[in-house]
């Protein structure tokens, strides 16, 4: 299926609501349209049997997800997916931003120095830091963790130095739809735990719930 075919299929379902779950979700939340065209943030074709389309939700950080059978081109189900941020974070009260960056060869997505103003402009950081997040697009948690570990493993020496000298670790932030009070939680494969152990990494979770409930 082309991207346009995926969009057309989802637009039709959102109009006709042939699935009961479609009506349930659209009663409490709305997708985003620009110039009358449904917005889709990502179409995930990395699966063998199905496609996942991620749609932004108006005024929320989580996503609508539409699962489509790759062979038949029919919708399987509709759900929501948390906005997962999975990244490596190293911080130090003694080392500068430049010194932290010099420890590894990986691309840094965000960094700051002690004394730099925070984004709110009202206070300053009391530590230096660097953040590495190779996958910022919508995705499932385990896939994001796998991609982060794969990237970190390309510079094991640098990551180990950041872990040892700058308390480097994996940070996870999840914005979850609180539809029925059962938000679930992340699951980590044994293989991923082993890979984190080999890099000397710990992992920390921040879970946030938002959105309207089904009533």
Predicted local confidence at residue 118, as pLDDT: 92
Separation of alpha carbons 103 and 81, rounded Å: 35
Kindly report, residue by residue over 115-128, the tens digit of the pLDDT. 999 988 889 999 99
Predicted local confidence at residue 108, as pLDDT: 97
Fold category of 3-81 in CATH: Nuclear Transport Factor 2; Chain: A, (3.10.450)
Predicted local confidence at residue 206, as pLDDT: 96
Separation of alpha carbons 178 and 70, rounded Å: 29
pLDDT along the chain (215 residues), means of 10: 94 96 96 95 93 98 97 96 97 97 97 93 94 96 97 98 97 93 87 98 96 89
Which pTM does this prediction carry? Answer: 0.93
Domain locations along the chain: 3-81, 83-210
Strand 83-92 vs strand 50-56: parallel, antiparallel, or unpaired?
Answer: unpaired
Separation of alpha carbons 180 and 149, rounded Å: 32
198: Cβ contacts below 8 Å, ≥ 6 apart: 156
């Amino acid at each position: 299926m082309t991207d346009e075919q995926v969009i057309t299929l989802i637009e039709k379902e959102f109009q006709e609501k042939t699935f009961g779950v479609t009506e349930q979700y659209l009663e409490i939340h709305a997708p985003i349209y620009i110039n009358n065209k449904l917005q889709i943030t990502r179409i995930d074709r990395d699966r063998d049997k199905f496609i996942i389309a991620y749609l932004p939700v108006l005024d929320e950080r989580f996503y609508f997800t539409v699962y489509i059978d790759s062979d038949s081109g029919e919708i399987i189900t509709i759900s929501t997916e948390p906005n997962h941020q999975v990244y490596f974070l190293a911080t130090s009260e003694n080392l500068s931003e430049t010194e932290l960056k010099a420890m590894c060869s990986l691309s840094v997505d965000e960094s700051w120095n002690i004394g730099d103003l925070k984004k709110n402009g009202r206070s300053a950081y009391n530590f230096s830091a660097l953040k590495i997040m190779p996958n910022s697009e919508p995705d499932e948690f385990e896939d994001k963790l796998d991609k982060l570990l794969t990237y970190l493993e390309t510079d094991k020496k640098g990551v180990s130095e950041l872990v040892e000298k700058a308390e480097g670790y994996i940070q996870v932030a999840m914005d979850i739809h609180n539809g029925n009070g059962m938000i679930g939680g992340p699951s980590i494969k044994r293989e991923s735990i082993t890979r984190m152990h080999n890099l000397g990494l710990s992992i920390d979770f921040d879970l946030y719930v938002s959105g309207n409930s089904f009533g």
